[in-house]
Amino acid sequence: MSRLFLLFLFVPLAELYLLIQVGRVIGAAATILLVILTAAAGAALARAEGLRTLAAIQESLVAGRPPTDELIEGAMILVAGLALLTPGFLTDALGLLILFSPTRRPIRRWLVAQLRRRARDHAGIIDVDFRW
């Protein structure tokens, strides 16, 4: 099975399990309120970080530098915002990890290293669809 399939299978199951367990401890209404509050707070934080990153992109362009890191961080902030809007505590934790600068930067470095490794591993492969 592919990793993506397993991810889409097990993450919702884990989220559901956690929501049920938290609901048993603090009650259903409090759990629903907590999920709504984390989504709202996450959306506000993602917007603020997104605007900050957009300003950094503009500064890089004005300085004549390619905004490579800033664009990657912008994509990461978008993913974090989507994770925070998804109901559940695991996705909220992931979204917050990506959203905060002190943890986002090491994640970005790891992600770039993974992308470079994959590009290096697939160097020299040319996939052509040739038809007469």
Tell me the whole-structure pTM to 2 decimals. Answer: 0.79
pLDDT digits (tens, 9 = 90+) for 93-121: 999 999 988 999 999 999 999 888 888 87
Query: Does some domain include residue 126?
Result: no
Q: Quote the domain boundaries for residue 86.
A: 3-121
Residue 129 lies in a domain: no
For 89, other C-beta atoms within 10 Å of its C-beta total 17
> What percent of the chain is modeled with pLDDT above 90?
64
Q: Within a domain: residue 89?
A: yes
The runs of H, that is alpha helices, within the chain are 3-26, 28-62, 68-85, 89-99, 101-121
Query: Is there a domain that residue 85 lies in?
Result: yes
In contact, 53 and 70? CB cutoff 8 Å = yes
